[in-house]
Amino acid sequence: MEKSHPVREAVDKVVDKVAEAVSSGPSGEVPGKPGGVTPSPKEPTEPRPPAPPAPDQSGPAPFSPTGQPVDVPPAARAQGGEYLTTAQGTRLPDSDHSLKAGPRGPVLLQDHHLREKIMHFDHERIPERVVHARGAAAHGVFRAYGNASTVTRAAFLAEGVETPVFVRFSTVLGSRGSADTVRDTRGFATKFYTGEGVFDLVANNIPVFFIQDAIKFPDIIHAGKPHPDREIPQAQSAHDTFWDFVSLHTEATHHTLWNMSDRGVPRSYRTMEGFGVHTFRLVDAAGATTLAKFHWKPKAGVHSLLWEEAQLINGMDPDFHRRDLADAIEAGAHPQWELGIQVFPDTPDQTFEGIDLLDATKIVPEELAPVQPIGLLTLNANPTNYFAETEQVAFHPGHLVPGIDVTDDPLLAGRLFSYLDTQISRLGGPNFAQIPINRPHAPVNDMLRDGFHQTAVHAGVAPYKPNSLDGGCPFFAGQAEGGYVERPVQVPAGRKVREAPASFADHFSQPRQFWLSLTPIEREHVIAAYTFELGKVYEQPIKQRVLTVLARIDPYLCEQVAQGLGLPAPAPEGPLAPVDPSPALSQLGRTWPTTGRIIGIVADEGSDLEAVRAVRRTILDGGMVPLVIAPTGGLLGAGGDDPVTVQRTFATARSVEFDALLLAGAPAPGGDAYGARDAKAGSAPAAAGVDPRVVLMLGEAFRHAKPIGGWGDAGRALAAAGIDTSAPGVLVGDGGEGGDAGDGVLAEVVRLLGRHRVWERFPTAADIA
């Protein structure tokens, strides 16, 4: 168990407060309410204090700049008072008009409020991250199972210890204003506020990296970013410079293949794995060492979008992933991941089963080293302020705690330098750890002084060692006192060289293993992704070079992509690597919880509203989110005792927002169902008297392999969309009235949702052959 610590009690209080604030679970309200107060139609005129944060929100825990617990409520750090003031607290009578020499006269330089307001606005932006600029984040709690204590003395991994965390998800290539559902690697960075200091696990949703040495990091990012002459394309790898680099630099092949798989377009952050990528060294209480890789496994399973869905979402809702995360937390469907480790003997050559553990382009298949769960992460509170928390949080792989050390991975070595340098540049100086979201929950006595944005008020006169004027304080801490002591690892003798180990030269065996581990439907998606991406490349020689790389992975993959590009498929340059598939690399073939899934219920005034109310309640009780879709906003059955609130209209909804659809009948065309008002309605008359936007929605959901259910007159709507009611995953109730009408259909839809998609609806090339 973790030793007694002076801030442990304060940390526990913070954890309890966060958990208590959101422990009530789903409230029955659909998430997305923009504020904590319902507005009035007219502008308010009576002074009142600022509105409190929403129940699902939580700010950074109340700690001082030097890690001391502060007994103040989080709201004490927010704005206060009923009246508008200057930054110095002086109340203001007006903020709409500059001070002028008469109503039409010149603006006066003495207007101190104008100067302060404009000056602050001019400096409200800080440099965005070069990579991982677009992100979303949440607060949570990590509870350790205790079984990791056999390999590490890290106190936060002792049995039953709860540690507050802040987790930031992100895309890599896009700017802060880019879209969420682009094909890209995702970041999964977790800040653990442990009693021994901050530990940052800076992970990705892909377990391997493009490069083996950090000196090449500027090259891969320059290649992946928009072209420097036109600054296009944004947040995409489908362009010449990216494919030019990765086809010449074949150590990128493994990561590129993962990126072209379904992993490149996750359904949500909640259904995304995380990988620490590097191999770390764990140290136990006796000083014995073990090598390990970190894994995050989502409790909801690993699930992705189809590429057409991702493209539609980027136009319909570019904030899709961040909205999904925030809404799930607000709805009480708290995302969870298990943290697991793969462990390996700490041998002098740092290899395992012939795999070089220092090569960041390699994985260790789970069949060789199972992932052992060591704790549970629960995200249970949204940030109160995006800039103060999500934008200013500073992660660094060098933020370590006793019991976790680094290895000689050359990519990790460069990151240990780069992250610190980046934070100093982005956050205005070396005191970024004093920003509330970055503050440790352990006492800080670092002898660092001054600099930009110094908010601590240090006492004493001797910030140096040794000293006597401050009584020798601060003192050194050995391992017995909880000090971070690097393990004295033996370094082999060698020459100073710019070389890589021979084992780093294998660039194709693991990409081939990944390909062979995928199911036929997943392979189809990889082929489509390569064909799409390379179809955006201008230069033919680059396409031909990529095909040469693909031939080293698998001839069929190469042939199919070449066919889509209209190019000949080259023969492999050498024998194919003999590898065994790893079933753990596939996302399919299992069932998962449906908590947090979104089910659309299509209805109108002619629907059986009692059945709509019943299935809505059942969906909420199951931890899922029901969204009623109707011809107009407002209420269905407004004249009755229990009207149904509408969350989406036929004009605002699109199939990609939902994991499944339920049809409460066949809605007639709405008053705006014509192309000049809503292009989704098209120009043709409504088929079979069904709103054409519902027909479009059903057709999209069907070809995206989503479950579809209905009752009442739903069969007529499905027929209008050209959907065979006997097709896999299409369920039509046999009648019934009131609350029973949709129950059986919903139960089967939920069962299918546990598998994510109805993949058997469409044949693959293997099926056709």
Write the DSSP symbol of residue 228. T
Whose tokens are 């891969």? That residue is 220
CB < 8 Å & 24+ apart, contacts of 422-429: 422/129, 422/130, 423/394, 423/396, 425/127, 426/126, 426/127, 426/128, 426/129, 426/394, 427/126, 427/392, 427/394, 427/453, 428/126, 428/452, 428/453, 429/453
Burial class (CB in 10 A: 0-12, 13-18, 19+), 232: exposed
The Cα 678–Cα 649 span in angstroms is 12
Helix (H) / strand (E) element for 218: namely helix 217-224
The Cα 201–Cα 739 span in angstroms is 48
Which residue in 734, 745, 736 sits closest to 660, CA to CA? Answer: 745
Show Cβ contacts of residue 444 under 8 Å, excluding neighbours closer than 6 positions.
Answer: 65, 66, 67, 433
Which residue in 594, 607, 610 sits closest to 714, CA to CA? Answer: 607
The Cα 576–Cα 549 span in angstroms is 12
Helices (H) then strands (E): counts for the chain: 17, 20
Burial class (CB in 10 A: 0-12, 13-18, 19+), 228: exposed
Torsion of Cα atoms, 676 then 682 then 684 then 686, to 10° = -100
Burial class (CB in 10 A: 0-12, 13-18, 19+), 727: middle
Amino acid at 582: S
Q: Quick check: helix, strand or coil at residue 464?
A: coil
From residue 620, give the alpha-carbon distance in Å to each of 25, 268, 598, 641. 10, 20, 10, 21
Structure tokens at 320: 């899709």
Helices 217-224 and 240-248: crossing angle in degrees, nearest 10, is: 150
Is-contact 268 327, C-beta < 8 A? no
Reported residue count of the chain is 769
Q: Quick check: helix, strand or coil at residue 453?
A: coil
Structure tokens at 482: 């909880």
Which residue in 167, 111, 186, 146 sits closest to 2, CA to CA? Answer: 146
Q: Quick check: helix, strand or coil at residue 688?
A: helix
Which residue in 489, 482, 470 sits closest to 8, CA to CA? Answer: 482
Known catalytic residues are 132, 204
